[in-house]
Each structure stands twice: as structure tokens, then as C-alpha cells.
């Protein structure tokens, strides 16, 4: 039998142990690399979605610039219309065009506010105009302008009024006196469903002589600053109406206040 020397036997054992250790280390390194690769994938890792260049992450709302780019405005028949667009990604956003000002709140956006009325003159189709005789004063007429719309609107300080002879086709025209020193707000506001009153006295002095003969019609334009003449209403006064230096007051919320304003008229309209 051939004997191995102790030196050779020991060297083989050491070599074997060393080789196994190296193999285990290599295997561990390979497994660690595979694990790190799996953790770095987009499918199951914890890496934040979205590139680092500032793009929108999935699930987030689109940026303002993206929304603006998708918002378009067109003009049809002189009125502006707006369209809203949806942003990309699972989150969506929209941007509307300029509002109509009917939302509740301050800044003149409330359709029941004075500031809204200042910017929105009453139209002829929005209001109704009526005339009645003042009880106890046959020479006085009450002009009532009712806002039939859903929003407040503005009227001129007083209605456009003149008296004439209907059959003369404008041959005789008499205009009333109005209060002087006008100023302040840009219009007289009338809320939806409310009525503005103005009173005219055809013959404040009560004279029976010296009156203008033949006057039998009262013509009223609710807003002489903005409405066309086609919106003028004609009211018959009846035969025998006495007209002499008539006085017209400003719009007021009550007939009594309208009478007080009429009495202060001192300037030719």
C-alpha cells in the first residue's frame, strides 16, 4: 500500500474547503444580483412612478399648462362660448371659459346685487311698463316698470317721457321737468320680480287756463339711456287732459317716494 504523506493529505483538505467557500460566495453574489434586479423593476418595486424629468405621475391631476392647452374658445354670432377638455392620465381636469356672473358671491357676480345691475341694463323684453292714475290727484300718473327677468338689471335714473297729441304725429311735444343735481350710482337697480316707480304730474300748479291744448298721449321709454325708441310705450290720457309745465320724478321703490322726487323737479328734461 502506498502511503500519502501527511503534507499532501492536508493540502487536499484545505484546497477542498477553499473551493467550497469560493463556490458558496459566487452563488450568494449571483442570488443577490437577481434579487436586486427584481426589486428595481416597474412591475413590483417601490420605485416612484413617473420620470425624473418632471412628467405627470399616473393617477395625478394634469398640470395647469396641460389643461390650458386643451381649452378652446370660439365666437359665434358675437357671443363667446367655451369648451372644457379632460387632461391625460387617470386623473382628469377641466378649465371653463369666462363665467356668466350668475353665481352667488361678491365681486359683482351675484345676479341679485346692485353691482350686477349696474353692468347689465334692463332690456325692453325683460320689463313690463304700466301707467295708472294716482288716487286723489287726477293730474298725476304713476309709471310702473317691473323686472320680469331672473336677474337684476339697471335702469336710467328716470324714464324717458314726453307728451304729445296722438293725431298730430309729433306736431306737439311737451317734455317734463326733472330733479337737478343727478349723480352717484351708474344706474337704478331693479331686482328680479321687483317694480320701480316714477310719478309724473301733468299740471302741478292745478291751472285750468294756459294749458297746452290737444295733448292726449303719454309716451314712456323705461330706460332712455340704453333702450331703442322702438321700446317706447304709448298711453292715452283721454280727452280734456290738462298739461302745463309737467314734473317727473326719479325711479323709486315706493309710490310715495316717487311723488316726493317728482315735487323736487326743477330742470328741463
Binned average pLDDT, 10 residues per bin, the chain of 269 residues? 43 47 51 44 37 36 32 32 34 33 40 90 97 83 96 97 85 93 93 97 94 94 96 92 96 97 97
Contact 218, 157 (CB under 8 A): no
Is residue 17 a contact partner of residue 25, using CB atoms and an 8 Å limit? no
CA-to-CA distance for 176 and 190, rounded, in angstroms?
A: 23
Do residues 249 and 269 make contact, with C-beta atoms less than 8 angstroms apart? no
Residue 233 is predicted with a pLDDT of 97
Q: Quick one: pLDDT at residue 92?
A: 35
Q: Where are the domains of the chain?
A: 127-268
User: Of all helices (H) and strands (E), which one includes residue 258?
Assistant: helix 255-263
Model pTM score:
0.60
The CATH number of 127-268 is 2.60.40
Cα–Cα dist 89/174, whole Å: 71
pLDDT 10s digits, 39-81: 444 443 333 333 333 333 333 333 333 333 333 333 233 333 3
Amino acid at each position: 500500500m502506498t502511503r500519502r504523506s501527511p503534507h499532501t493529505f492536508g493540502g487536499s483538505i484545505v484546497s477542498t474547503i477553499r473551493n467550497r467557500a469560493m463556490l458558496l460566495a459566487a452563488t450568494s453574489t449571483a442570488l443577490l444580483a437577481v434579487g436586486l434586479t427584481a426589486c428595481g423593476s416597474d412591475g413590483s418595486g417601490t420605485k416612484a412612478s413617473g420620470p425624473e424629468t418632471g412628467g405627470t405621475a399616473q393617477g395625478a391631476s394634469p398640470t395647469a399648462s396641460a389643461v390650458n392647452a386643451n381649452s378652446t374658445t370660439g365666437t359665434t354670432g358675437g357671443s363667446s362660448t367655451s369648451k372644457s377638455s379632460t387632461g391625460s392620465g387617470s386623473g382628469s381636469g377641466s378649465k371653463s371659459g369666462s363665467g356668466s356672473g350668475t353665481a352667488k358671491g361678491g365681486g359683482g357676480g351675484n345676479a341679485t346685487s346692485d353691482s350686477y345691475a349696474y353692468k347689465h341694463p334692463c332690456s325692453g323684453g325683460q320689463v313690463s311698463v304700466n301707467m295708472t292714475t294716482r288716487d286723489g290727484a287726477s293730474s298725476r300718473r304713476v309709471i310702473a316698470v317691473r323686472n320680469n327677468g331672473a336677474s337684476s338689471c339697471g335702469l336710467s335714473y328716470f324714464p324717458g317721457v314726453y307728451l304729445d297729441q296722438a293725431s298730430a304725429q309729433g306736431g306737439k311735444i311737451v317734455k317734463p321737468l326733472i330733479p337737478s343735481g343727478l349723480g352717484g350710482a351708474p344706474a337704478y337697480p331693479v331686482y328680479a320680480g321687483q317694480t320701480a316707480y316714477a310719478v309724473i304730474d301733468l299740471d302741478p300748479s292745478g291751472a285750468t287756463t294756459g294749458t297746452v291744448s290737444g295733448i292726449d298721449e303719454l309716451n314712456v321709454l323705461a330706460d332712455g339711456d340704453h333702450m331703442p325708441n322702438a321700446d317706447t310705450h304709448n298711453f292715452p290720457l283721454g280727452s280734456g287732459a290738462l298739461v302745463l309745465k309737467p314734473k317727473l320724478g326719479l325711479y323709486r321703490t315706493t309710490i310715495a317716494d316717487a311723488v316726493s322726487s317728482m315735487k323736487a323737479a326743477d330742470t328741463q328734461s
